[in-house]
Structure 1
Amino acid sequence: MGYKFYLDFSENSKYYPDYMTHLVGKQTESILTGFGYRTNIVPHTEESSLMVFVNQKYLARIIEGCNGMSVIILFIAFVVSFRDTFKRTFLFILAGSVLIYAVNLIRIVLLTVGLYNYPWRSEVMHEVIFPLAIYGMVFLLWMFWVRHFSIQTKSVNV
């Protein structure tokens, strides 16, 4: 509900389409430019997204679902439901959220480079490889949390 409120609030924001998607777009642009790709991220005029251009070629769009927030919220909900002490839970959520955000950003950058160099592989990259990478990493973080820190695991092992 909080995230939905954030999205509704963002409709009148100066950041298009919302702050987090805008931030991911700008960071993607900076990273790709740093790797030598002439990149422009511009607001889409017909839908709530950002268009990614590399060397003046339209490659992709970044929508709200690409910003990683829904994955981070899912990760946090799982960790909280198998909580440990407040401090450990908070620190794991913080570290995991930063890691998920960074991996998601890398995923977008690599996907853009892949679309530029291998456009015929776009479907397998976008639908299989990169979702598997991000959700696989979240799954591993969850398993690590449950096996090493959660209260439920400690009570079973005692």
Structure 2
Amino acid sequence: MSLYQDFKPSIYFLAKFIGLYIILNVGYGFYLDASKGEADFMTKWVTEQTAAIIDSYEDKIATGPKDDLKSIFIFKDSQAILSVYEGCNGLNVMIIFVSFLIAYGKLGKRMLWFLPFGVIVIHLFNLLRILLLFHVTISMPDFLYFSHKYLFTAFIYIAVFGMWVLWIFKINDK
């Protein structure tokens, strides 16, 4: 058997995954361009949801645009605490998740419920990530860079990896 035949399923998976990822990211780029220099809808929505959660147990929480207009501040007592950029809206992580699922499994009933389930889980983990970053900014500002760049990024990708494992070993019917 040739080397190509041995690795054909893996090559096919990678080609599908990379192709879908590129297509969805190009679509995401068009979505961001449509925002015309302002923060996109999803970034606003995620920021407002996070602020609403914080506002349920903290006083004087608000959101507002940053000077660059591409990000949204979360304010506490009229002081800007955290800036949420378009990369923090979770859409890119959702694109990776969806690309993997479609590349790995076949479209069917199981995928039709697992895709939205996974997107919702990613969204909830992302809200929790931003919420925790807000508190890190207030209580341990020197720890913010590490928390944002490594700790909470790993947090959300571990959740995605866990859902992939769930999909591969428990839900997908391959």
**TM-score under structure 2 normalisation?**
0.79
Question: 1:131-142 to 2 correspondence within 5 Å?
Answer: 131-142=153-164
Secondary structure of residue in 2 paired with 1:45: coil
Secondary structure of residue in 1 paired with 2:70: coil
Which deviates more from structure 2 when the two are superposed, residues 85-94 or residues 142-151? 142-151
Alignment of 1:9 onto 2:31: no
Secondary structure of residue in 1 paired with 2:80: strand
Mapped to 2, the partners of 1:85 and 1:19 lie a distance apart of: 29
Match of 2:67 in 1: 45
Structure index of larger Rg: 2
Which deviates more from structure 2 when the two are superposed, residues 127-136 or residues 1-10? 1-10
Match of 2:132 in 1: 110
Mapped to 1, the partners of 2:32 and 2:107 lie a distance apart of: 31
Alignment of 1:30 onto 2:52: yes
Q: What does the per-residue CA deviation read over 1:108-139, in whole Å, with 9 as the maximum and x for residues that have no partner?
A: 01110121122121122112211111011101
Match of 1:69 in 2: 91
Q: What does the per-residue CA deviation read over 1:52-109, in whole Å, with 9 as the maximum and x for residues that have no partner?
A: 2222332221110000001011100000011135111111111010010011011101
Would you identify which runs of 4 or more consecutive aligned residues in structure 1 move more than 3 Å? Answer: none
- Structure 1 unaligned segments of length 5 or more: list them: none
Percent identity between matched residues is 32
Number of equivalent positions: 149
- RMSD between superposed Cα atoms in Å: 1.6
